[in-house]
Protein backbone atom coordinates (compact mmCIF):
# COMPACT_ATOMS: atom_id res chain seq x y z
CA UNK A 1 0.00 0.00 0.00
CA UNK A 2 1.18 3.48 -0.70
CA UNK A 3 1.92 5.62 2.31
CA UNK A 4 -0.53 8.15 0.95
CA UNK A 5 -3.34 5.61 0.99
CA UNK A 6 -2.53 4.75 4.53
CA UNK A 7 -2.63 8.38 5.40
CA UNK A 8 -6.11 8.81 4.00
CA UNK A 9 -7.45 5.84 5.83
CA UNK A 10 -5.95 6.92 9.10
CA UNK A 11 -7.76 9.15 11.54
CA UNK A 12 -6.34 12.55 12.27
CA UNK A 13 -3.39 12.43 14.64
CA UNK A 14 -5.32 14.30 17.28
CA UNK A 15 -8.05 11.74 17.81
CA UNK A 16 -7.85 9.95 21.11
CA UNK A 17 -5.68 6.96 21.63
CA UNK A 18 -8.30 4.27 21.96
CA UNK A 19 -9.93 5.11 18.65
CA UNK A 20 -6.59 5.11 16.94
CA UNK A 21 -5.58 1.82 18.41
CA UNK A 22 -8.70 0.04 17.33
CA UNK A 23 -8.57 1.31 13.76
CA UNK A 24 -4.94 0.90 13.08
CA UNK A 25 -2.68 -1.04 15.38
CA UNK A 26 0.94 -0.03 15.49
CA UNK A 27 2.08 -3.51 14.69
CA UNK A 28 0.28 -3.41 11.40
CA UNK A 29 1.74 -0.06 10.60
CA UNK A 30 5.18 -1.30 11.38
CA UNK A 31 4.63 -4.32 9.25
CA UNK A 32 3.52 -2.23 6.35
CA UNK A 33 6.30 0.28 6.69
CA UNK A 34 8.89 -2.44 6.85
CA UNK A 35 8.16 -3.06 3.21
CA UNK A 36 9.56 0.31 2.33
CA UNK A 37 13.13 -0.07 1.32
CA UNK A 38 14.62 3.17 0.13
CA UNK A 39 15.81 5.52 2.77
CA UNK A 40 14.14 8.45 1.09
CA UNK A 41 10.74 6.87 1.29
CA UNK A 42 11.38 6.07 4.90
CA UNK A 43 12.48 9.60 5.65
CA UNK A 44 9.32 10.94 4.10
CA UNK A 45 7.19 8.50 6.04
CA UNK A 46 8.80 9.40 9.31
CA UNK A 47 7.81 13.03 8.84
CA UNK A 48 4.09 12.33 8.63
CA UNK A 49 3.31 12.24 12.31
CA UNK A 50 4.70 10.99 15.60
CA UNK A 51 3.13 7.57 15.33
CA UNK A 52 4.48 7.04 11.92
CA UNK A 53 7.85 8.30 13.04
CA UNK A 54 7.90 5.71 15.78
CA UNK A 55 6.61 2.94 13.60
CA UNK A 56 9.18 3.72 11.03
CA UNK A 57 12.08 3.84 13.42
CA UNK A 58 11.20 0.51 14.95
CA UNK A 59 10.93 -1.15 11.61
CA UNK A 60 14.04 0.22 9.98
CA UNK A 61 16.81 -2.29 9.50
CA UNK A 62 19.11 -0.40 7.17
CA UNK A 63 20.41 3.09 7.81
CA UNK A 64 22.18 5.20 5.21
CA UNK A 65 24.31 8.07 6.48
CA UNK A 66 25.64 10.18 3.66
CA UNK A 67 27.94 12.24 5.83
CA UNK A 68 29.29 10.57 8.92
CA UNK A 69 29.61 13.89 10.70
CA UNK A 70 26.05 14.97 10.13
CA UNK A 71 24.97 12.78 13.00
CA UNK A 72 26.60 10.96 15.86
CA UNK A 73 26.51 7.21 16.41
CA UNK A 74 24.69 7.73 19.71
CA UNK A 75 21.90 9.65 18.04
CA UNK A 76 21.55 6.97 15.39
CA UNK A 77 21.44 4.21 17.96
CA UNK A 78 18.86 6.08 19.98
CA UNK A 79 16.56 6.57 17.07
CA UNK A 80 16.87 3.23 15.33
CA UNK A 81 17.06 0.31 17.70
CA UNK A 82 16.91 -2.50 15.20
CA UNK A 83 19.55 -1.78 12.64
CA UNK A 84 21.22 -4.66 10.86
CA UNK A 85 22.90 -2.86 8.03
CA UNK A 86 24.76 0.43 7.94
CA UNK A 87 26.06 2.46 5.01
CA UNK A 88 28.39 5.28 5.95
CA UNK A 89 30.17 7.83 3.84
CA UNK A 90 32.92 9.96 5.24
CA UNK A 91 35.32 12.28 3.53
CA UNK A 92 34.36 14.79 0.89
CA UNK A 93 34.56 13.34 -2.60
CA UNK A 94 37.58 15.42 -3.50
CA UNK A 95 39.63 13.34 -1.08
CA UNK A 96 39.79 10.81 -3.90
CA UNK A 97 41.91 13.33 -5.73
CA UNK A 98 44.19 14.18 -2.85
CA UNK A 99 42.59 17.50 -2.02
CA UNK A 100 41.72 16.60 1.54
CA UNK A 101 44.42 16.42 4.19
CA UNK A 102 45.48 12.94 5.07
CA UNK A 103 44.32 12.90 8.67
CA UNK A 104 41.09 14.78 8.12
CA UNK A 105 38.98 12.33 10.02
CA UNK A 106 36.05 10.08 9.26
CA UNK A 107 37.34 7.35 11.48
CA UNK A 108 35.01 4.45 11.83
CA UNK A 109 36.11 3.32 15.22
CA UNK A 110 33.83 5.48 17.32
CA UNK A 111 30.92 4.15 15.31
CA UNK A 112 31.99 0.56 15.78
CA UNK A 113 32.18 0.97 19.52
CA UNK A 114 28.61 2.23 19.68
CA UNK A 115 27.40 -0.39 17.26
CA UNK A 116 29.01 -3.14 19.28
CA UNK A 117 26.98 -2.03 22.26
CA UNK A 118 23.69 -1.21 20.54
CA UNK A 119 23.63 -3.40 17.46
CA UNK A 120 25.28 -6.64 18.43
CA UNK A 121 23.45 -8.33 15.59
CA UNK A 122 24.83 -6.03 12.95
CA UNK A 123 25.21 -7.87 9.68
CA UNK A 124 26.37 -5.43 7.04
CA UNK A 125 28.73 -2.52 6.96
CA UNK A 126 29.35 -0.54 3.78
CA UNK A 127 31.84 2.25 4.02
CA UNK A 128 32.91 4.85 1.53
CA UNK A 129 35.80 7.23 2.10
CA UNK A 130 36.19 6.37 5.74
CA UNK A 131 39.37 5.87 7.67
CA UNK A 132 39.66 2.39 9.09
CA UNK A 133 42.55 0.89 10.96
CA UNK A 134 43.47 -2.75 11.31
CA UNK A 135 42.46 -2.55 14.94
CA UNK A 136 39.00 -1.42 13.91
CA UNK A 137 38.72 -4.28 11.48
CA UNK A 138 39.73 -6.73 14.12
CA UNK A 139 37.29 -5.19 16.56
CA UNK A 140 34.61 -5.52 13.93
CA UNK A 141 35.48 -9.13 13.30
CA UNK A 142 35.17 -10.18 16.91
CA UNK A 143 32.33 -7.97 18.08
CA UNK A 144 29.59 -9.02 15.72
CA UNK A 145 28.97 -12.75 15.61
CA UNK A 146 26.40 -12.43 12.86
CA UNK A 147 28.47 -10.23 10.65
CA UNK A 148 27.90 -10.99 7.00
CA UNK A 149 28.92 -8.26 4.59
CA UNK A 150 31.79 -5.83 4.51
CA UNK A 151 32.21 -3.42 1.65
CA UNK A 152 35.01 -0.87 1.61
CA UNK A 153 35.21 1.66 -1.19
CA UNK A 154 37.84 4.37 -1.31
CA UNK A 155 38.73 3.85 2.32
CA UNK A 156 42.19 3.99 3.78
CA UNK A 157 44.21 3.38 6.88
CA UNK A 158 44.18 -0.38 6.91
CA UNK A 159 46.30 -3.21 5.67
CA UNK A 160 45.84 -6.78 4.64
CA UNK A 161 46.27 -7.73 8.29
CA UNK A 162 42.87 -6.29 8.94
CA UNK A 163 41.47 -8.42 6.15
CA UNK A 164 43.09 -11.43 7.73
CA UNK A 165 41.24 -10.69 10.94
CA UNK A 166 37.96 -10.53 9.07
CA UNK A 167 38.65 -13.77 7.27
CA UNK A 168 39.61 -15.51 10.47
CA UNK A 169 36.78 -14.48 12.73
CA UNK A 170 33.71 -13.84 10.63
CA UNK A 171 32.18 -17.26 10.43
CA UNK A 172 29.10 -16.14 8.59
CA UNK A 173 30.70 -13.83 6.12
CA UNK A 174 28.92 -13.64 2.80
CA UNK A 175 30.50 -10.58 1.30
CA UNK A 176 34.00 -9.18 1.29
CA UNK A 177 34.25 -6.34 -1.17
CA UNK A 178 37.46 -4.34 -1.16
CA UNK A 179 37.44 -1.66 -3.83
CA UNK A 180 39.91 1.02 -4.75
CA UNK A 181 41.22 1.64 -1.29
CA UNK A 182 44.39 3.06 0.06
CA UNK A 183 45.28 -0.29 1.46
CA UNK A 184 48.69 -1.25 2.74
CA UNK A 185 49.20 -4.47 0.90
CA UNK A 186 51.45 -6.60 3.04
CA UNK A 187 50.97 -9.80 1.16
CA UNK A 188 48.36 -12.24 0.11
CA UNK A 189 48.30 -14.48 3.12
CA UNK A 190 45.04 -13.03 4.38
CA UNK A 191 43.15 -15.15 1.91
CA UNK A 192 44.48 -18.27 3.50
CA UNK A 193 42.91 -17.22 6.78
CA UNK A 194 39.47 -18.38 5.77
CA UNK A 195 38.97 -21.59 7.74
CA UNK A 196 38.51 -24.79 5.81
CA UNK A 197 35.04 -25.11 7.25
CA UNK A 198 34.00 -21.77 5.85
CA UNK A 199 31.52 -22.01 2.98
CA UNK A 200 29.24 -19.03 3.09
CA UNK A 201 31.06 -16.55 0.91
CA UNK A 202 29.00 -15.16 -1.94
CA UNK A 203 30.90 -12.05 -2.88
CA UNK A 204 34.66 -11.82 -2.95
CA UNK A 205 36.33 -8.81 -4.51
CA UNK A 206 40.04 -8.27 -3.99
CA UNK A 207 40.86 -6.79 -7.38
CA UNK A 208 42.36 -3.77 -5.68
CA UNK A 209 45.18 -5.71 -4.04
CA UNK A 210 48.41 -6.27 -5.82
CA UNK A 211 50.28 -8.98 -4.04
CA UNK A 212 50.08 -12.62 -4.91
CA UNK A 213 47.66 -14.71 -3.00
CA UNK A 214 47.97 -18.38 -2.29
CA UNK A 215 46.20 -19.78 -5.28
CA UNK A 216 45.56 -23.17 -3.77
CA UNK A 217 43.79 -21.58 -0.84
CA UNK A 218 41.72 -19.53 -3.26
CA UNK A 219 40.88 -22.53 -5.38
CA UNK A 220 39.73 -24.45 -2.36
CA UNK A 221 37.74 -21.51 -1.09
CA UNK A 222 35.95 -21.03 -4.37
CA UNK A 223 35.37 -24.72 -4.62
CA UNK A 224 33.61 -25.01 -1.29
CA UNK A 225 31.61 -21.78 -1.47
CA UNK A 226 28.90 -23.03 -3.72
CA UNK A 227 26.82 -19.89 -3.44
CA UNK A 228 29.55 -17.65 -4.72
CA UNK A 229 28.16 -15.33 -7.33
CA UNK A 230 30.67 -12.47 -7.44
CA UNK A 231 34.37 -13.16 -7.77
CA UNK A 232 36.80 -10.39 -8.66
CA UNK A 233 40.39 -11.44 -8.77
CA UNK A 234 43.49 -9.37 -8.66
CA UNK A 235 46.11 -9.04 -11.29
CA UNK A 236 48.30 -11.76 -9.88
CA UNK A 237 45.89 -14.49 -10.91
CA UNK A 238 46.85 -15.88 -14.28
CA UNK A 239 44.68 -17.07 -17.11
CA UNK A 240 45.42 -20.65 -16.39
CA UNK A 241 44.46 -20.22 -12.77
CA UNK A 242 41.33 -18.44 -13.85
CA UNK A 243 40.31 -21.42 -15.87
CA UNK A 244 40.75 -23.69 -12.88
CA UNK A 245 38.58 -21.44 -10.76
CA UNK A 246 35.85 -21.19 -13.34
CA UNK A 247 35.60 -24.91 -13.68
CA UNK A 248 34.59 -25.00 -10.03
CA UNK A 249 32.32 -21.98 -10.14
CA UNK A 250 30.16 -21.94 -13.25
CA UNK A 251 27.41 -20.28 -11.27
CA UNK A 252 29.27 -17.00 -11.11
CA UNK A 253 27.22 -13.96 -12.05
CA UNK A 254 30.03 -11.42 -11.87
CA UNK A 255 33.59 -12.16 -12.74
CA UNK A 256 36.65 -9.99 -12.49
CA UNK A 257 39.49 -11.75 -14.20
CA UNK A 258 43.09 -11.47 -13.26
CA UNK A 259 45.79 -10.75 -15.73
CA UNK A 260 44.58 -11.61 -19.21
CA UNK A 261 47.82 -11.77 -21.03
CA UNK A 262 49.98 -14.77 -20.45
CA UNK A 263 51.05 -17.12 -23.20
CA UNK A 264 48.57 -19.93 -23.52
CA UNK A 265 48.89 -23.15 -25.38
CA UNK A 266 46.10 -23.96 -27.73
CA UNK A 267 44.73 -26.51 -25.34
CA UNK A 268 44.77 -24.07 -22.45
CA UNK A 269 42.96 -21.56 -24.58
CA UNK A 270 40.28 -24.06 -25.49
CA UNK A 271 39.86 -25.03 -21.87
CA UNK A 272 39.51 -21.42 -20.86
CA UNK A 273 36.95 -20.77 -23.51
CA UNK A 274 34.98 -23.81 -22.49
CA UNK A 275 35.08 -22.87 -18.81
CA UNK A 276 33.82 -19.42 -19.67
CA UNK A 277 31.07 -20.69 -21.86
CA UNK A 278 29.79 -22.76 -18.96
CA UNK A 279 29.08 -19.63 -17.01
CA UNK A 280 25.54 -19.14 -18.14
CA UNK A 281 24.63 -16.70 -15.42
CA UNK A 282 27.41 -14.27 -16.00
CA UNK A 283 26.23 -10.75 -16.57
CA UNK A 284 29.19 -8.69 -15.41
CA UNK A 285 32.77 -8.97 -16.56
CA UNK A 286 35.69 -6.88 -15.38
CA UNK A 287 39.40 -7.10 -14.69
CA UNK A 288 40.97 -8.09 -17.98
CA UNK A 289 44.24 -6.53 -16.95
CA UNK A 290 46.71 -6.18 -19.81
CA UNK A 291 44.24 -7.90 -22.08
CA UNK A 292 45.66 -8.91 -25.38
CA UNK A 293 43.43 -8.94 -28.38
CA UNK A 294 44.22 -12.50 -29.30
CA UNK A 295 42.64 -13.97 -26.17
CA UNK A 296 39.52 -11.89 -26.18
CA UNK A 297 37.62 -14.33 -28.39
CA UNK A 298 37.58 -16.68 -25.41
CA UNK A 299 35.08 -14.27 -23.92
CA UNK A 300 32.64 -14.39 -26.79
CA UNK A 301 30.39 -17.04 -25.29
CA UNK A 302 30.02 -14.99 -22.14
CA UNK A 303 29.49 -11.75 -24.01
CA UNK A 304 26.13 -12.70 -25.39
CA UNK A 305 24.44 -12.26 -22.05
CA UNK A 306 26.70 -9.61 -20.59
CA UNK A 307 25.07 -6.44 -19.36
CA UNK A 308 28.10 -4.80 -17.76
CA UNK A 309 31.55 -4.90 -19.30
CA UNK A 310 34.36 -3.13 -17.51
CA UNK A 311 37.36 -2.76 -19.80
CA UNK A 312 38.82 0.16 -17.94
CA UNK A 313 42.00 -1.70 -17.15
CA UNK A 314 42.46 -3.20 -20.57
CA UNK A 315 44.16 -0.95 -23.08
CA UNK A 316 42.36 -2.19 -26.14
CA UNK A 317 42.63 -0.73 -29.57
CA UNK A 318 39.62 0.27 -31.58
CA UNK A 319 39.60 -2.82 -33.77
CA UNK A 320 39.91 -5.12 -30.77
CA UNK A 321 37.03 -3.44 -29.05
CA UNK A 322 34.93 -3.51 -32.18
CA UNK A 323 35.41 -7.23 -32.57
CA UNK A 324 34.51 -7.84 -28.96
CA UNK A 325 31.45 -5.64 -28.95
CA UNK A 326 30.07 -7.38 -31.97
CA UNK A 327 29.30 -10.17 -29.55
CA UNK A 328 27.78 -8.00 -26.83
CA UNK A 329 24.34 -7.00 -28.03
CA UNK A 330 22.78 -6.81 -24.60
CA UNK A 331 25.31 -4.49 -23.05
CA UNK A 332 23.88 -1.86 -20.76
CA UNK A 333 26.99 -0.58 -19.05
CA UNK A 334 30.37 -0.20 -20.61
CA UNK A 335 33.58 1.19 -19.14
CA UNK A 336 36.55 1.60 -21.49
CA UNK A 337 39.87 3.33 -21.78
CA UNK A 338 40.37 6.02 -24.33
CA UNK A 339 42.87 3.82 -26.15
CA UNK A 340 39.90 2.59 -28.12
CA UNK A 341 39.66 6.07 -29.65
CA UNK A 342 36.76 7.40 -31.63
CA UNK A 343 36.64 4.40 -33.91
CA UNK A 344 36.10 2.16 -30.93
CA UNK A 345 33.28 4.35 -29.76
CA UNK A 346 31.72 4.17 -33.19
CA UNK A 347 31.67 0.44 -32.71
CA UNK A 348 29.89 0.98 -29.42
CA UNK A 349 27.22 2.96 -31.16
CA UNK A 350 26.84 0.31 -33.80
CA UNK A 351 26.72 -2.75 -31.61
CA UNK A 352 25.14 -1.81 -28.32
CA UNK A 353 21.73 -0.25 -28.81
CA UNK A 354 20.69 -0.99 -25.26
CA UNK A 355 23.56 0.90 -23.73
CA UNK A 356 22.60 3.00 -20.74
CA UNK A 357 25.92 3.87 -19.16
CA UNK A 358 29.25 4.70 -20.73
CA UNK A 359 32.46 5.62 -18.95
CA UNK A 360 35.59 6.47 -20.88
CA UNK A 361 38.72 6.79 -18.79
CA UNK A 362 42.00 8.29 -19.95
CA UNK A 363 44.83 5.83 -20.32
CA UNK A 364 47.51 8.45 -20.04
CA UNK A 365 45.99 11.48 -18.43
CA UNK A 366 49.20 13.29 -17.68
CA UNK A 367 50.94 13.00 -20.99
CA UNK A 368 49.81 16.13 -22.68
CA UNK A 369 51.60 15.41 -25.88
CA UNK A 370 49.28 12.63 -26.79
CA UNK A 371 46.93 13.52 -29.54
CA UNK A 372 44.94 10.36 -29.61
CA UNK A 373 42.40 9.35 -27.06
CA UNK A 374 38.80 10.19 -27.65
CA UNK A 375 37.30 13.34 -29.02
CA UNK A 376 33.85 14.75 -29.43
CA UNK A 377 33.35 12.58 -32.49
CA UNK A 378 33.37 9.40 -30.45
CA UNK A 379 30.82 10.70 -28.02
CA UNK A 380 28.56 11.83 -30.83
CA UNK A 381 28.84 8.44 -32.49
CA UNK A 382 27.74 6.71 -29.32
CA UNK A 383 24.82 9.07 -28.89
CA UNK A 384 23.53 8.24 -32.36
CA UNK A 385 23.62 4.54 -31.68
CA UNK A 386 22.54 4.43 -28.05
CA UNK A 387 19.43 6.51 -27.43
CA UNK A 388 18.92 5.01 -24.00
CA UNK A 389 22.16 6.43 -22.71
CA UNK A 390 21.57 8.18 -19.41
CA UNK A 391 24.86 7.96 -17.54
CA UNK A 392 28.09 9.16 -19.03
CA UNK A 393 31.56 9.87 -17.66
CA UNK A 394 33.77 11.07 -20.46
CA UNK A 395 37.40 12.15 -20.31
CA UNK A 396 38.56 13.84 -23.47
CA UNK A 397 41.00 16.42 -24.70
CA UNK A 398 38.73 18.36 -26.99
CA UNK A 399 35.06 19.11 -27.22
CA UNK A 400 32.74 21.46 -29.05
CA UNK A 401 29.46 23.09 -28.15
CA UNK A 402 27.85 21.74 -31.27
CA UNK A 403 28.82 18.18 -30.47
CA UNK A 404 27.31 18.33 -27.01
CA UNK A 405 24.15 19.84 -28.39
CA UNK A 406 23.86 16.96 -30.83
CA UNK A 407 24.56 14.43 -28.13
CA UNK A 408 21.81 15.59 -25.82
CA UNK A 409 19.43 15.84 -28.70
CA UNK A 410 20.03 12.18 -29.39
CA UNK A 411 19.96 11.20 -25.74
CA UNK A 412 17.62 13.48 -23.84
CA UNK A 413 17.32 11.19 -20.85
CA UNK A 414 20.62 11.92 -19.21
CA UNK A 415 20.53 11.65 -15.46
CA UNK A 416 24.29 11.79 -14.94
CA UNK A 417 26.39 13.90 -17.28
CA UNK A 418 30.03 14.09 -16.30
CA UNK A 419 32.22 15.58 -18.94
CA UNK A 420 35.88 16.14 -18.19
CA UNK A 421 37.85 18.09 -20.75
CA UNK A 422 41.25 17.38 -19.38
CA UNK A 423 42.86 20.70 -20.06
CA UNK A 424 41.50 23.07 -17.45
CA UNK A 425 39.73 26.00 -18.97
CA UNK A 426 39.87 24.78 -22.53
CA UNK A 427 37.33 26.35 -24.89
CA UNK A 428 35.48 24.89 -27.83
CA UNK A 429 38.41 23.95 -29.99
CA UNK A 430 36.74 24.90 -33.25
CA UNK A 431 35.03 28.14 -32.41
CA UNK A 432 37.21 29.16 -29.49
CA UNK A 433 34.16 30.06 -27.52
CA UNK A 434 33.51 29.01 -23.99
CA UNK A 435 31.67 25.75 -23.47
CA UNK A 436 28.69 27.58 -22.00
CA UNK A 437 26.32 26.57 -24.75
CA UNK A 438 27.25 22.93 -24.38
CA UNK A 439 26.18 22.71 -20.78
CA UNK A 440 23.31 25.01 -21.50
CA UNK A 441 22.07 22.47 -23.99
CA UNK A 442 22.53 19.71 -21.45
CA UNK A 443 20.44 21.33 -18.76
CA UNK A 444 17.79 22.58 -21.15
CA UNK A 445 17.26 19.26 -22.85
CA UNK A 446 17.87 16.80 -20.05
CA UNK A 447 15.19 17.62 -17.58
CA UNK A 448 15.88 14.56 -15.51
CA UNK A 449 19.48 15.55 -14.88
CA UNK A 450 20.56 14.68 -11.37
CA UNK A 451 24.30 14.89 -11.55
CA UNK A 452 26.46 17.23 -13.58
CA UNK A 453 30.21 17.73 -13.79
CA UNK A 454 31.37 20.60 -15.91
CA UNK A 455 34.73 21.40 -17.42
CA UNK A 456 36.34 23.47 -20.10
CA UNK A 457 36.25 27.20 -20.38
CA UNK A 458 33.07 28.38 -18.72
CA UNK A 459 31.72 31.81 -17.88
CA UNK A 460 28.91 32.74 -15.56
CA UNK A 461 26.50 32.03 -18.38
CA UNK A 462 26.87 28.31 -17.78
CA UNK A 463 25.76 28.75 -14.22
CA UNK A 464 22.89 30.96 -15.24
CA UNK A 465 21.69 28.13 -17.44
CA UNK A 466 22.16 25.63 -14.67
CA UNK A 467 20.28 27.72 -12.19
CA UNK A 468 17.47 28.35 -14.61
CA UNK A 469 16.96 24.90 -16.10
CA UNK A 470 18.51 22.20 -13.95
CA UNK A 471 15.62 21.86 -11.57
CA UNK A 472 16.30 18.26 -10.68
CA UNK A 473 20.00 18.68 -10.20
CA UNK A 474 21.32 17.15 -7.03
CA UNK A 475 25.07 16.99 -7.47
CA UNK A 476 27.22 19.57 -9.20
CA UNK A 477 31.00 19.47 -9.64
CA UNK A 478 32.76 22.56 -10.88
CA UNK A 479 36.44 23.09 -11.58
CA UNK A 480 38.33 25.97 -13.19
CA UNK A 481 35.16 27.70 -14.28
CA UNK A 482 33.06 30.78 -13.85
CA UNK A 483 33.87 34.46 -14.00
CA UNK A 484 32.39 35.96 -10.86
CA UNK A 485 30.27 35.41 -7.78
CA UNK A 486 27.19 35.70 -9.92
CA UNK A 487 27.75 32.22 -11.29
CA UNK A 488 27.53 30.50 -7.97
CA UNK A 489 24.69 32.74 -6.89
CA UNK A 490 22.66 31.56 -9.86
CA UNK A 491 23.21 27.97 -8.89
CA UNK A 492 22.39 28.49 -5.24
CA UNK A 493 19.30 30.42 -6.13
CA UNK A 494 18.00 28.24 -8.92
CA UNK A 495 18.75 24.61 -8.18
CA UNK A 496 16.18 23.80 -5.58
CA UNK A 497 17.08 20.16 -5.26
CA UNK A 498 20.78 20.69 -4.96
CA UNK A 499 22.34 18.47 -2.32
CA UNK A 500 26.03 18.31 -3.05
CA UNK A 501 28.10 21.11 -4.49
CA UNK A 502 31.82 20.79 -4.94
CA UNK A 503 33.87 23.59 -6.40
CA UNK A 504 37.57 24.00 -6.96
CA UNK A 505 39.66 26.73 -8.50
CA UNK A 506 36.86 29.10 -9.35
CA UNK A 507 36.60 32.85 -8.82
CA UNK A 508 33.76 32.60 -6.33
CA UNK A 509 34.13 34.62 -3.19
CA UNK A 510 32.28 35.48 -0.04
CA UNK A 511 29.28 36.93 -1.76
CA UNK A 512 28.80 33.65 -3.57
CA UNK A 513 29.34 31.62 -0.44
CA UNK A 514 26.88 33.65 1.55
CA UNK A 515 24.25 33.66 -1.16
CA UNK A 516 23.50 30.07 -0.25
CA UNK A 517 23.00 30.85 3.41
CA UNK A 518 19.51 29.46 3.58
CA UNK A 519 20.25 26.64 1.23
CA UNK A 520 23.01 24.80 3.02
CA UNK A 521 20.79 23.25 5.62
CA UNK A 522 18.89 21.47 2.92
CA UNK A 523 22.08 20.21 1.33
CA UNK A 524 24.38 17.46 2.40
CA UNK A 525 27.55 19.44 1.88
CA UNK A 526 29.43 22.17 0.10
CA UNK A 527 33.09 22.05 -0.83
CA UNK A 528 35.00 25.05 -2.06
CA UNK A 529 38.74 24.96 -2.53
CA UNK A 530 41.12 27.39 -4.17
CA UNK A 531 38.36 29.94 -4.57
CA UNK A 532 38.24 33.52 -3.29
CA UNK A 533 36.58 32.81 -0.01
CA UNK A 534 38.10 34.43 3.03
CA UNK A 535 38.13 33.46 6.66
CA UNK A 536 35.82 36.32 7.45
CA UNK A 537 33.28 35.06 5.02
CA UNK A 538 33.42 31.64 6.61
CA UNK A 539 33.11 33.08 10.08
CA UNK A 540 30.08 35.01 9.03
CA UNK A 541 28.51 31.91 7.60
CA UNK A 542 29.25 29.95 10.75
CA UNK A 543 27.78 32.68 12.88
CA UNK A 544 24.60 33.03 10.88
CA UNK A 545 23.94 29.32 10.57
CA UNK A 546 24.71 27.56 13.83
CA UNK A 547 23.48 24.22 12.60
CA UNK A 548 26.11 24.09 9.93
CA UNK A 549 29.65 22.93 10.51
CA UNK A 550 31.97 25.22 8.64
CA UNK A 551 35.40 23.67 8.36
CA UNK A 552 38.39 25.40 6.91
CA UNK A 553 41.54 23.55 5.92
CA UNK A 554 44.60 25.69 5.66
CA UNK A 555 47.52 25.04 3.41
CA UNK A 556 51.03 25.60 4.64
CA UNK A 557 52.35 28.99 3.90
CA UNK A 558 49.14 30.48 2.67
CA UNK A 559 47.70 33.83 3.46
CA UNK A 560 46.04 33.94 6.86
CA UNK A 561 42.90 35.59 5.65
CA UNK A 562 42.25 33.21 2.80
CA UNK A 563 40.16 30.16 3.37
CA UNK A 564 41.95 27.70 1.14
CA UNK A 565 39.55 24.82 1.50
CA UNK A 566 36.09 25.16 2.90
CA UNK A 567 33.79 22.29 3.72
CA UNK A 568 30.32 23.14 4.91
CA UNK A 569 27.78 20.57 5.99
CA UNK A 570 24.70 20.35 8.10
CA UNK A 571 24.91 18.43 11.29
CA UNK A 572 22.79 17.63 14.27
CA UNK A 573 25.81 16.38 16.12
CA UNK A 574 27.40 19.77 16.50
CA UNK A 575 31.01 20.57 15.69
CA UNK A 576 33.19 17.51 15.59
CA UNK A 577 35.80 16.86 18.16
CA UNK A 578 38.21 14.75 16.22
CA UNK A 579 39.41 17.33 13.74
CA UNK A 580 43.17 17.54 13.25
CA UNK A 581 44.89 20.85 13.87
CA UNK A 582 44.95 21.79 10.22
CA UNK A 583 41.18 21.77 10.13
CA UNK A 584 39.42 24.64 11.84
CA UNK A 585 35.79 24.43 12.69
CA UNK A 586 34.36 27.87 12.90
Partner 1 sequence: MSTPLEHDYIGLAETSSMERSSEKISSSSSSSIPSNIEDKTTNNPSLNLKETELRLGLPGSESPERKLSLFGKDLETNDKSNGFVGSPLKNLVSGAKRGFSDAIDGSNGKWVFAINGKSDVELGKGAVLASPRGGLDSKTNPQQVRTSVPVMKEVVGVPQSPKPVQDKKNLVPPVNEHASAPAAKAQVVGWPPIRSFRKNSMASNLAKNSDEAAGCLYVKVSMDGAPYLRKVDLKTYNNYREFSSALEKMFSCFTIGQCGSNGDGLSESRLMDLLHGSEYVLTYEDKDGDWMLVGDVPWEMFTDSCRRLRIMKGSEAIGLGIPESILIAYSSKSHGEMQEPELMQKTWKKHRKLYSTTLYTYVCAFRYYSLMYLVEVREKRDCIRQIMALKTYPII
With CB under 8 A as the contact rule, the residue among 17, 263, 556, 560 that binds partner 1 is 556
* 159 is a site residue for partner 1 (CB under 8 A): no
Q: Is 418 helix (H, G, I), strand (E, B) or coil?
A: strand
* 319 is a site residue for partner 1 (CB under 8 A): no
Number of chain residues interacting with partner 1 (CB under 8 A): 67
Q: Which is nearer to partner 1, 221 or 533 (CB)?
A: 533
With CB under 8 A as the contact rule, the residue among 229, 332, 397, 500 that binds partner 1 is 397
Partners of 177 in the β-ladder: 151, 205
Of 11-19, 64-72, 301-309, 365-373: span binding partner 1 (CB under 8 A): 365-373
Residue 155 in contact with residue 132, Cβ under 8 Å? yes
CA distance 331 to 284: 10
CA distance 437 to 446: 14
Write down the H helix ranges in 203-340: 215-224, 239-248, 266-277, 300-303, 318-325
| Strand pairing class (203-205; 230-232) | parallel
With CB under 8 A as the contact rule, the residue among 44, 146, 274, 459 that binds partner 1 is 459
Q: Which is nearer to partner 1, 153 or 350 (CB)?
A: 153
Shortest Cβ distance from residue 257 to partner 1 (Å)?
Answer: 14
> For every residue of 154-191, which 3-state class applies, written as one string?
CCEEEEHHHHHHHHHHCCCCCEEEEECCEEECCCEHHH
Partners of 281 in the β-ladder: none
* 424 is a site residue for partner 1 (CB under 8 A): yes
CA distance 436 to 352: 30
* 262 is a site residue for partner 1 (CB under 8 A): no
Shortest Cβ distance from residue 482 to partner 1 (Å)?
Answer: 8
Residue 230 in contact with residue 207, Cβ under 8 Å? no
Shortest Cβ distance from residue 204 to partner 1 (Å)?
Answer: 18
Rg (CA), the chain: 26
Of 67-75, 113-121, 175-183, 384-392: span binding partner 1 (CB under 8 A): 175-183
Residue 179 in contact with residue 152, Cβ under 8 Å? yes
Of 15-23, 42-50, 137-145, 367-375: span binding partner 1 (CB under 8 A): 367-375
Binding string to partner 1 for residues 269 to 308, with x set by CB under 8 A, is what? --------------------xx------------------
* 361 is a site residue for partner 1 (CB under 8 A): yes
CA distance 215 to 243: 12
With CB under 8 A as the contact rule, the residue among 434, 467, 516, 537 that binds partner 1 is 434
Q: Which residues lie near partner 1 (CB under 8 A)?
A: 94, 96-99, 101-102, 154, 180-182, 184, 208, 289-290, 312-313, 315, 337, 361-371, 395, 397-398, 420, 422-427, 429-430, 432, 434, 457-459, 477, 479-483, 504-507, 530-532, 555-559, 562, 564
Amino acid sequence: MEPSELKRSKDSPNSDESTRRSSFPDEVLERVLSLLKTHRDRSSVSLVCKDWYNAERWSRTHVFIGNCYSVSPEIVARRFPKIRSVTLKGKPRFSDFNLVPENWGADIHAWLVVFAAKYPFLEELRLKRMAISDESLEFLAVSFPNFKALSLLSCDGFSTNGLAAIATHCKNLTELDIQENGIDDKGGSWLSCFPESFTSLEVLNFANLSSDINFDALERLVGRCKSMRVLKLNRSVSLEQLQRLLVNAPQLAELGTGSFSEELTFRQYVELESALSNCKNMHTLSGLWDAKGIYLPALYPVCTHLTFLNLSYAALRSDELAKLLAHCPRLKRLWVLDTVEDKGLEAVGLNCPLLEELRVFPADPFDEEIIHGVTEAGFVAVSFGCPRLHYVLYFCRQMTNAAVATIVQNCPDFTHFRLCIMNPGQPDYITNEPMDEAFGAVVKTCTKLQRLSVSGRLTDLTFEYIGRYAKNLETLSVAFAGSSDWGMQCVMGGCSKLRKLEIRDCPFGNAALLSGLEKYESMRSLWMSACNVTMNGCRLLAREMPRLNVEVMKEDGSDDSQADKVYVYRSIAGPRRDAPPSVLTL
